[in-house]
Amino acid sequence: MLDTIRRAVSFLRQKQILHKLGVVVSITIIGIACYVLYHMLRTIDVGEVVEAIRRTHPRQVVLAALFVAAGYFTLTFYDLFAVRTIGRTDVPYRVTALAAFTSYSIGHNVGASVFTGGAVRYRIYSAWGLNAIDVAKICFLAGLTFWLGNAAVLGLGIAYHPEAAAAIDQLPVWLNRLAAFAILLGLAAYVAWVWVRPRGVGRGPWTVTLPGGPLTLLQIAIGIVDLSFCALAMYVLAPDEPHLGFVVVAVVFVSATLLGFASHSPGGLGVFDAAMLVGLWQMDREDLLAGMLLFRLLYYITPFVISVILLTLREVIMGARLKRLNLKRSVTDPAPKHEAVYVRERGDTGA
């Protein structure tokens, strides 16, 4: 069965069918989101949205900011877990934390996070001797943690409140609950599969050894905690009335986030917003839109600015160290002029 699936996937890759299908799905999602937003926002009073933002209590904003910070702190364990899984125990937490925070915050805003986040990770991890294959494995394992956490949150949330998902996918409540149980069953099957014996995916040097059963449960826990903090930030900023409960908001939030991720639009712009407005249709649109704008400020824009500043400072510091190192080499071990120029241009700091 597994060999059949692998051959099928290999055939689809060779024909670039998966890539073409992904493009079609992305365009379709964005098109539907634009249509929905046009019909839902054309009656929006911008003045009321601005007034709703002004009415937001500072305590709500501070609490949401703390939840966002906690969510990004949890994100740092995605990379720490991945780096340790590939056997690089020498890379300190501060490096994995910087790589995770900057790659995710930049990837969230720029879009195509697989490529943008991977490029940021490579720039940071390469200084510690990790090559492109190592970074690809880290990206895969971090992404696996993300998807396992999403599967757990959606499965549990939709099984408990299937009507929350029904508002977005327009499917019957019983079908959503059935899908939730299928997700949970698939998640349990995966855990059992990796628990029995070591499993690997990929070929040759690209082979990734999957975490075993206990470590997979840790992955799921990390993903659940991360998504819970993010959902709490949105829940705090959402209108108080009508009171729908945290689980409903969390299910809609995670569903909207996944749709935004699937669209590959920067920050899920348009797609996330349309899904939230549709899923939480009971709430006042102006008040909900105000909460969503504040959430974008806290979760997307602020971390993005901080990440750019951190990466810029890192490059400045690395450049200063390289300059001092080259100067020291030229004094203690004079080399021919052309060789010294080559060392400076190559930028080999020995880091």
pLDDT tens digits along 13-26: 555 554 556 556 65
- Percent of the chain residues topping a pLDDT of 70: 79
Q: In 3D, which of 265, 296, 165, 169 has the Cα closest to residue 288? A: 296
The SS3 call for residue 281 is coil
110, 116 contact by CB (below 8 A)? yes
Please indicate whether residue 345 or residue 180 has the higher confidence score (pLDDT): 180
Least confident range of 274-283, 289-298, 330-339: 330-339
pLDDT by residue (tens digit) across 1-56? 445 545 554 544 555 554 556 556 656 666 665 656 555 666 677 788 888 888 88
Q: Select, from the ranges 37-51, 82-96, 158-172, the one with the highest average predicted confidence (pLDDT).
A: 82-96
- Average pLDDT of the segment spanning 60-88: 93
Confidence class for position 190, pLDDT limits 50, 70, 90: very high
Least confident range of 201-215, 216-230, 284-298: 201-215
Confidence class for position 227, pLDDT limits 50, 70, 90: very high
Whether residue 152 has pLDDT greater than 90: yes
208, 143 contact by CB (below 8 A)? no
Strand partners, 144: none
Average pLDDT over the chain reads 81
Q: For residue 238, give the DSSP letter.
A: S
Sign of CA dihedral 263, 265, 270, 276: positive
- Average pLDDT of the segment spanning 223-243: 91
Q: How many CB atoms lie within 10 A of CB 341?
A: 12
Q: In 3D, which of 136, 150, 317 has the Cα closest to residue 222? A: 150
d(CA 204, CA 135): 16
Return the pLDDT at 137. Answer: 92
259, 30 contact by CB (below 8 A)? no
Distances, alpha carbon 306 to alpha carbons 15, 298, 312, in Å = 41, 11, 10
Return the pLDDT at 347. Answer: 41
Please indicate whether residue 15 or residue 164 has the higher confidence score (pLDDT): 164
Q: Identify each DSSP E strand in the chain by its residue range.
A: 200-201, 208-209
Least confident range of 48-62, 86-100, 300-314, 322-336: 322-336
Torsion of CA 65, 68, 74, 76, to 10 degrees: -90
Q: In 3D, which of 75, 105, 27 has the Cα closest to residue 264? A: 27
Kindly tell me the burial class for residue 327, based on how many C-beta atoms sit within 10 Å of its own C-beta (0-12, 13-18, 19 or more). exposed
- Average pLDDT of the segment spanning 285-313: 91
d(CA 233, CA 68): 6
Q: Token pair for residue 94?
A: 């501060």
